Amino acid sequence: MLECVGELIPTPERDRRTQRYLLQGHIPVWDIVPDDTLRNAAGDVFYLDFTMFGNVSRFINHSCSPNLKVLCVLDNSRIVYYANEEIGSGVELTCDYNYHRVDHPEQVFICYCQSQQCDKALL
């Protein structure tokens, strides 16, 4: 449906950027790259950071019941959103930002997605 464009960064860099973005008043926006083959020598998982730049995919909002999923394609060199379900005309496209509360217990961002499965907090 749509390619995700952003910076591919490992977990330690994601953690550094999270603190920096929060201090600057930005809500960090990224997806975990859903493929275990994309790990560096330290075994870090990679994230796609679209907080500061990327393509139109960075404007897709979070939902606790997303209608898009993330998929690695073309030998894991590209990351795309694909439809998780049939999506009608005029329906907002949403994805799961994959925030993990345990990573940053001091931060709380309220989720307003209004789905029945809403966790009520992004982070």
Site string for Zn ion, 47-66 (x = CB under 5 A): -----------------x--
Please choose, out of 18-26, 77-85, 91-99, 107-115, the segment that lies near Zn ion by the rule CB under 5 A: 107-115
Provide DSSP, 20-39: HHHHTTPPP-EEE-S-TT-B
| Binding of Zn ion by 118 (CB under 5 A) | yes
> What six digits make up the tokens of 123?
């982070």
Q: Which stretch binds Zn ion (CB under 5 A): 12-20, 46-54, 75-83, 105-113?
A: 105-113
Q: Which stretch binds Zn ion (CB under 5 A): 39-47, 76-84, 101-109, 112-120?
A: 112-120
Bridge partners, 61 (sequence order): 94
Q: Is 111 in the site for Zn ion (CB under 5 A)?
A: yes
Binding status of residue 27 toward Zn ion by CB under 5 A? no
Core vs surface per residue 76-89: b (16+ CB within 10 A) or e = eeebbbeebeeeee
Rounded CA separation 117/66 (Å): 10
Which residues in this chain contact Zn ion in the complex, by CB under 5 A? 64, 111, 113, 118
